[in-house]
Amino acid sequence: MSQQNPDLIIENLHVNVEGQEILKGINLQANIGEINAIMGPNGSGKSTLAYTIMGHPKYEVAQGRIVFRGEDITKEKPTQRARLGLFLSFQYPTEIPGVTVSNFLRTALNALRPQPVPVPEFLKLLKEKMALLKIDQSFASRYLNEGFSGGEKKRTEILQMAVLQPRMAILDETDSGLDIDSLKIVANGVNELMGPHMGALVITHYQRLLNYIKPDRVHIMMDGRIAMSGGDELVQKLESHGYEWVQKGAGLKV
């Protein structure tokens, strides 16, 4: 899909963390309705890019800008970015004892709305999304991520995405720590939610997640830069040749 004005535009983005430059001039465009995969080895800056797009205060934008749906959000707070339709699924979801999944999701949804969602309306929405994702209704009364398996934590993140209905979801290594059965469940949930009104940036190390979530575009990060972009054929080439092939192809120091 191509259009004159992409929904997400990242221009010459330089980001420092605790005085160290991590992102060194990222240029990236993505559209709602597309799936863009971002791959790269440890330390390449993938998670830094995710947190910067979402506005985490730890990540200092030294240069460049981020534009989403026509609005420059480079200096906006995370809440405003979420209200515009951005969503971040964490690599390591936090446990919150004493707060049920249901209460957490209702609080998160209300934070995005000008008026609180009536309880009956919210419960109807929650049941619909849990049914869509094949999640047992008892899940809603459990304390958020407390005692959850890795797969359950990631399914909670996908349920949150389903309830909040963002325009662009950033999935930061959603496959991390999942066995093959959990991976399939999470990937199927993502596929159920994707469509013309939602896009995704899928951040991952490995091909296996992209066997189930098919990207429209693939971007490979190395040393804080986009070293290579292309179609999903890049995933197969990367699997066969490794990141050294990318470094040589991009003219980077090996």
Domain ranges of the chain: 8-94+168-249
pLDDT of residue 90: 80
The C-alpha atoms of residue 48 and residue 141 are separated, in whole angstroms, by 33
- Nearest in space to 155 (alpha carbons), one of 173, 171, 135, 131: 135
DSSP labels, 176-221: TT--HHHHHHHHHHHHHH-BTTBEEEEEESSHHHHTTS--SEEEEE
pLDDT of residue 93: 82
| Alpha carbon distances (Å) from 130 to 24, 170, 172, 183, 184 | 40, 20, 22, 17, 16
The C-alpha atoms of residue 193 and residue 161 are separated, in whole angstroms, by 8
The C-alpha atoms of residue 60 and residue 51 are separated, in whole angstroms, by 10
One-letter amino acid for residue 247 of the chain: Q
pLDDT of residue 86: 97
The ranges of the chain with pLDDT < 50 are 1-3, 253-254
Extract the tokens encoding 137: 């209704």
Q: Is 244 in a helix, a strand, or coil? A: helix
Helix axes of 119-132 and 101-112: crossing angle, nearest 10 degrees? 110
Length of the chain, please?
Answer: 254
One-letter amino acid for residue 98 of the chain: G
Say if domain 8-94+168-249 classifies as CATH 3.40.50.300: yes
pLDDT of residue 150: 84
- Nearest in space to 182 (alpha carbons), one of 144, 212, 152, 205: 152
Beta-carbon contacts of 210 under 8 Å, excluding residues fewer than 6 positions away, are: 37, 202, 204, 218, 232, 235
One-letter amino acid for residue 222 of the chain: M
The C-alpha atoms of residue 3 and residue 1 are separated, in whole angstroms, by 7
CB 17 within 8 A of CB 48: yes
pLDDT of residue 2: 43
The C-alpha atoms of residue 145 and residue 128 are separated, in whole angstroms, by 21
Query: What H or E segment, with its residue span, contains residue 248?
Result: helix 233-249
CB 145 within 8 A of CB 159: no
Beta-carbon contacts of 120 under 8 Å, excluding residues fewer than 6 positions away, are: none
The mean of the pLDDT values for the chain is: 91
pLDDT of residue 207: 84
| Alpha carbon distances (Å) from 103 to 26, 64, 85, 110, 134 | 37, 38, 21, 11, 20
